Copies of this chain bind each other. A is one copy, B any other.
Amino acid sequence: MVDTASFKGRDIISMRDFSREEIDFILDRATDMIPLVEKGSDLLRGKILAALFFEPSTRTRLSFESAMCRLGGSVIGFAEPKVSSVVKGETLSDTIKVVESYSDVIAMRHPSEDAARIAADVASIPIINGGSGPWEHPTQALLDLHAIRTTKGNIDGLTIALVGDLLYGRTVHSLAIALRNYDVKVYFVSPKQLKMRDDVIKDVAGRLDYVETEDLRKVLPDLDILYATRVQKERFSDPADYDKVKDAYLIDSTFLKGVKRDLKVMHPLPRITEISTDVDDTAHALYFRQVKHGVFLRMALLALVLGAL
């Protein structure tokens, strides 16, 4: 049985570590948090979140900080490694062993794939992975699920396209892994060079009804959720390849003609050119509302791992 005891002291490193029951339980707790944003709460009063961002981030860092403040807790940390002891050559393990003396929970982003796992191994307090290189970004996947469930009423039964850079996009890795727990149809839509990473394919195989394709236009009429991500120019050796891709996945209001009426377009943000601003005011745009779910979800996670629920 999943209950709050399942989460107290627990690390949140990878979507691979969570069952459907656990995910649903977390999403339920996130929904419980919604009224607290307005009302305020002292649930985590006296608790300290250390936000360690070895890679810059606006939204994930501020989202964690907002979640902690909404529950009455405090935040310490750094927004870039340059101001930290990392520049003096300290190992990640040592940094974590030090920072755990200052805080009750650590949320971290790091360019290295295994950083969050390493941190969890040495820390005696919970570690929450706020993005580990191209590997995973589990709290983003959970907030995405919460946004989908809140908007659609249900995750089961949906047809979902994950679009863009599926090779390096940590967000879509975590989301794909999470979705294997649900009865959904998923399209992995990407240019050939940026197909879904092998270990994710391996981990969803047999558990997720998925199709890999390059052709977004073709699958578009089927979709309930179009989850767009940024394709970075630097990923292509030939700039011409990039331009082709960029245009193929550019979502604007013209492109969205003929889609299901309640198709929702999502994006982990920041978006650059993937979604035209002329989509912003349509009923399809979920990407800005999606952001709010990050606060609800992280409030729930912080409260759960700190044993406050």
A residues lining the B interface (CB < 8 Å) = 39-41, 45-48, 50, 53, 56-59, 62-63, 65-66, 69-70, 72, 74-80, 82-90, 93-95, 97-99, 101-103, 269-272, 277, 288, 291-292, 294-295
- Give the residue name and chain of the B residue nearest to A289 (CB): B101
Q: Collect the chain B residues with CB atoms within 8 Å of residue A90's CB.
A: 58, 269-272
A46 with B56: CB separation less than 8 A = no
Task: Supply 11 A–B pairs (Cβ within 8 Å), ascending by A.
Answer: A39-B46, A41-B46, A48-B69, A58-B83, A59-B102, A62-B77, A62-B102, A66-B102, A85-B270, A93-B277, A102-B291
Q: In the complex, what distance in Å separates the CA atom of A193 from the CA atom of B8? A: 52
A80 shortest CB reach to chain B, Å? 5
A31 shortest CB reach to chain B, Å? 16
Q: Collect the chain B residues with CB atoms within 8 Å of residue A271's CB.
A: 90, 94
Q: Collect the chain B residues with CB atoms within 8 Å of residue A72's CB.
A: 46
- Give the residue name and chain of the B residue nearest to A89 (CB): B272
B40 with A102: CB separation less than 8 A = no
- Give the residue name and chain of the B residue nearest to A272 (CB): B89
Could you say which of A45, A76, A80 has the most chain B C-beta atoms within 10 Å of its C-beta?
A76
Taking a contact as CB atoms closer than 8 A, the residue among B62, B80, B82 that contacts A99 in the complex is: B62
Taking a contact as CB atoms closer than 8 A, the residue among B56, B84, B288 that contacts A83 in the complex is: B56
B69 with A76: CB separation less than 8 A = yes
A130 shortest CB reach to chain B, Å? 14
